[in-house]
Amino acid sequence: MEDFEQSGKVTISAEILAGIQEVIPESVSVGDTEIVRAMQVFYNQYKYVICPHTATAFSYFLNAKDRSVISISHINGAYNLVPA
């Protein structure tokens, strides 16, 4: 932590990086227009209003090459994007 405070950078080992990349295989950038579209699509399909953060994840789902790895579940009155 001290290195980060001094340099603004963090060095992580190849092993830790590989572990992170297993959990988060890619990253995407989602703009405001895509977020609004995702909120509209979700509402039209499920009649449920999602927040912009969830819409960001749902936008990823909408554009995912392989949707079989993500599913939408309804738990405790809320919809969730979860690994399939």
Q: What percentage of the chain reaches a pLDDT higher than 90?
A: 25
Residue 30 has which token pair? 């989602």
Residue 48 has pLDDT above 60, yes or no: yes
Three-class secondary structure of residue 70 per DSSP: strand
Domain count, the chain: 1
| 34 contacts 42 by C-beta, under 8 angstroms | no
Question: What's the rounded Cα separation, in Å, for the pair 59 and 63?
Answer: 6
Model confidence, pTM? 0.58
- Structural domain of residue 71, as residue ranges? 2-83
Q: Is the pLDDT of residue 80 over 80?
A: no
